[in-house]
Amino acid sequence: MTVFNTTAKVPEFARRAGHLASGERIVPEEMPVAFTYHGSTHAVMMATPADLEDFAVGFSLTEGIVADAAEIELVEIIGEERGIDLQIRLADAQSEALVSRRRHMAGPVGCGLCGIESIEQAVRVTPSVRGSTLTMTPDQVVEAVRLLNGQQPLHMETRAVHGAGFFVPGTGLIAVREDVGRHNALDKLTGAAARAGYRGAAGAVVVTSRVSVEMVQKTAVVGSPFIVAISAPTALAIRTAEEAGMTLIALVRGDEFEIFTGADRVVSSSGEAARRAGNG
């Protein structure tokens, strides 16, 4: 299997203590990654060239191209001069559905909301996780972020990539993926979890970024009732999490955080649900 460089060493001038001096810095690589299904390119993302099979599976799941990783028969990673082509072969039924979907697309697709042709598809119904009985204590929320911060080797080396992890209360952080793009990191985590057979409802998705609506939608595809983030959410992300029955926790700093939806899943060690300020 081809291994791609994920970092590069570059020259720089740095100002330290009032003086400029030459030096070197390690920065992450970023390159075009194409998702090609049965010879037809569906999307091209700028991404870190690592965990590419996870990326292919996770992207296919979160974009609704497949409903189960088993519907992907083969992923072939082809290195090209200026990028990477992920050649993905689907089972017959999924291949036919994708051909029909592409036939009705109005124009070319780009990054972000790939394969989307209308506003209705962009704000599509997010899978519900309302039936989940999973809970987390405040200490577990803090622990999840602490563990993620300590298990990002590429970020520790470059300080320039996002991380996404899957945290299981009582077990710990069982999977982490990194990428220059926050959506990509979560897609890679989705693929890794699906390939390993992890049950999404058993844990929380933890991310180092802000929470956009796409991050909530992707978390729902994983099946997790929790998304825990270091930065803030958007208003649409909050509304979408509420509609899906998801617990959205953000702005985790040290032992402090804010709960925007699903506060009843955050319980004390005695089992008492968290209460919003002003409600007793």
* Residue 69 contacts residue 55 (beta carbons within 8 Å): no
Asked if the model's pLDDT at residue 84 lies above 60, the reply is yes
The active-site residue, picked from 27, 91, 109, 111, is 111
Given pLDDT bands bounded at 50, 70 and 90, which one contains residue 147?
very high
> For this structure, is 114 an active site residue?
no
Give residue 73's pLDDT. 98
* One domain, residues 179 and 225: yes
Which of 56, 89, 122 is where one domain is finished?
Answer: 122
* One domain, residues 40 and 151: no
* One domain, residues 108 and 158: no
Q: Give the whole-angstrom CA distance, residue 29 versus residue 222.
A: 27
Give residue 271's pLDDT. 60
Q: Which residue has the tokens 């506003």?
A: 119
Q: Give the whole-angstrom CA distance, residue 211 versus residue 147.
A: 19
Share of the chain above pLDDT 70, in %: 88
Give residue 158's pLDDT. 98
* One domain, residues 151 and 260: yes
Which of 95, 122, 149 is where one domain is finished?
Answer: 122
Asked if the model's pLDDT at residue 167 lies above 50, the reply is yes
Domain assignment of residue 215, yes or no: yes
The domain of 175 spans 138-265
Give residue 2's pLDDT. 76
User: Per-residue pLDDT tens for 188-240?
Assistant: 999 999 999 999 999 999 999 999 999 999 999 999 999 999 999 999 999 99
Total-model pTM: 0.91
Asked if the model's pLDDT at residue 144 lies above 50, the reply is yes
Q: Give the whole-angstrom CA distance, residue 209 versus residue 182.
A: 6
Give residue 278's pLDDT. 44
Asked if the model's pLDDT at residue 110 lies above 60, the reply is no
* Residue 137 contacts residue 268 (beta carbons within 8 Å): yes
Q: Find the helix packing angle between 213-222 and 52-62, rounded to 10°.
A: 100
Which of 122, 150, 168 is where one domain is finished?
Answer: 122
CATH number at residue 214: 3.40.140.10
Q: What are the strands of the beta sheet with 84-90, ordered from one edge?
A: 40-47, 31-37, 84-90, 72-79
User: Strand pairing of 226-229 and 204-207?
Assistant: parallel
Average of per-residue pLDDT across 47-65: 97
Strand partners, 132: none
The one-letter amino acid code at 8 reads A
Which residues, 6 or more positions from 194, have their beta carbon under 8 angstroms from its beta carbon? 57, 58, 61, 68, 69
Give residue 123's pLDDT. 64
Give residue 111's pLDDT. 43
User: Strand pairing of 247-253 and 204-207?
Assistant: unpaired
Give residue 3's pLDDT. 85
Domain assignment of residue 276, yes or no: no
